[in-house]
Amino acid sequence: MILSRSAAYGVRAMIDVATVADGGIAITREVAKRQDIPQVFLTKIIQRLAQAGLLEAHRGAHGGIRLARPAGEITLRQIIEVMGGPLFMNYCLFRPGECPREKDCPVHDVWLEAQEKLLETLGNCTLAYLAERSKELCSKQTNSANQSK
Amino acid sequence: MILSRSAAYGVRAMIDVATVADGGIAITREVAKRQDIPQVFLTKIIQRLAQAGLLEAHRGAHGGIRLARPAGEITLRQIIEVMGGPLFMNYCLFRPGECPREKDCPVHDVWLEAQEKLLETLGNCTLAYLAERSKELCSKQTNSANQSK
DNA sequence: GAGTAATAAGACCTTCTTGGTCATATTATA
DNA sequence: TATAATATGACCAAGAAGGTCTTATTACTC
């Protein structure tokens, strides 16, 4: 699996906050419940996202978490990067210069191309888009549920 | 890192065989030496590639390994698949149906898109291309070495 | 047939990462 | 001061990754 669980959880949590709180504050416990993420584990993930400047955490009564930036300025790539990737195809791209055959390696450019496409796809996808899409999907589901009554 | 060492080693070994042996037989020990792969470990990798039908292994004196198919019919994707991937972005794509929110998940399609692009890039790259490129790079290097004399 | 050069196969081992829990501290509000 | 929330760090179990070692097996050559 390319994504770790932490990364997938992190993405889900961020989308949840963006969708439900809509700029306001969400409560970790409720995010965990909605997204089926072990609660204590989620707090770890939130800490990382907060330290990286993607979330703001507020302690105390009526505390919680909120996006630290507008949803349109947060991309999947950023979230996954914060959660420890991996966003490198191979060691030679992670630590350029360490591989002695870098210059005359016939696959090097293929790894690079694959990696860049991946980063592009993830970098073009913002939380705002995902939250919007989430709402669409949700309303669609509600509609079809109503229709089937 | 997306690629495991085994996968990267496997790719390097296959390119080596395709480039050096050119349809003939190569010797594991020499492949290991040229590619800086721990020899005993390489035999493991070769076993997997052989079981998967990408390599033929011949025992006994004058034995060795050769491509089991024309280099033009072997892709990076196949090699990496054999070596244990990973070629799935997320669990939901690895085991479709297991994620309860699959239908109304806003990121699902993004993971799918990223994965398909990756597979396409790797699936379009054949060993024949890589071997050709390897020879080009090698001759270029030799030329520049000669020029600098 | 003996010797030898090669791969096959499987047990094993060490280290690191992942996913996760637990206990305790800190902070802010009412 | 009680309480509702996050912060932090220690801890742990399981699995995978990377690699070694030993012992077959096979096939060629003399």
Residue A114 falls within a domain, yes or no? Answer: yes
CB-CB under 8 Å, B3 with A130: no
**CA gap B67, A85 in Å, rounded:** 34
CATH number of the domain within which A128 lies: 1.10.10.10
**CA gap B77, B52 in Å, rounded:** 13
Beta strands in A40-121 (DSSP E): 55-58, 64-67
**Nearby residues of B110 by Cβ (< 8 Å), 6 or more positions away:** A76, A121, A122, A125, A130
Residue B133 falls within a domain, yes or no? Answer: yes
- Contact in structure between A52 and A63 (CB atoms under 8 Å): no
Amino acid identity, position A98? E
* Facing A2 at nearest CB: one of B11, B86, B106: B86
CB-CB under 8 Å, A1 with B104: no
Q: Is a pLDDT exceeding 80 seen at residue B141?
A: no
Q: Distances in Å between the alpha carbon of B124 and those of B73, B129, B149?
A: 10, 10, 39
Average pLDDT over residues B86-92: 89
Show the domain range for B124. 5-144
| Positions in chain A whose pLDDT score sits under 50 | 148-149
**CA gap B124, B83 in Å, rounded:** 18
Is residue A109 helix, strand or coil? helix
Residue B149 falls within a domain, yes or no? Answer: no
Q: Which residue has the higher pLDDT, B123 or B84?
A: B123
Residue A65 falls within a domain, yes or no? Answer: yes
**Distance between terminal CA atoms of chain B?**
40
- Phi, psi (degrees; rounded to nearest 5) at B22: 55, 55
* Facing A1 at nearest CB: one of B36, B88, B130: B88
**Nearby residues of B107 by Cβ (< 8 Å), 6 or more positions away:** A11, A12, A15, A76, A125, A130
**CA gap A83, A8 in Å, rounded:** 9
Query: pTM for this structure?
Result: 0.89
pLDDT in tens, B22-51: 778 999 999 999 999 999 999 999 999 999
Q: How many domains does chain B have?
A: 1
Q: CA-to-C1' distance for B39 and C3, Å? A: 24
Nearest protein residue to the C1' atom of C4, measured from CA: B61
Q: CA-to-C1' distance for A87 and C18, Å? A: 17
Give contacts of A86 with chain B, Cβ < 8 Å: 1-2
Amino acid identity, position A59? R
Average pLDDT over residues B55-74: 92
Say which nucleotide is closest to residue B30, CA to C1' distance: C6
Average pLDDT over residues B86-114: 90
Chain B nearest C-alpha distance from A34 (Å) = 11
pLDDT for the residue numbered A82: 94
- A107 interface with B at CB cutoff 8 Å: yes
Residue A149 falls within a domain, yes or no? Answer: no
pLDDT for the residue numbered A99: 86
Q: CA-to-C1' distance for A25 and D7, Å? A: 18
Q: Is a pLDDT exceeding 80 seen at residue B114?
A: yes
Residue A15 falls within a domain, yes or no? Answer: yes
Q: Which nucleotides of C are covered by protein (CB under 7 A)?
A: 3-10, 18-23, 26-30
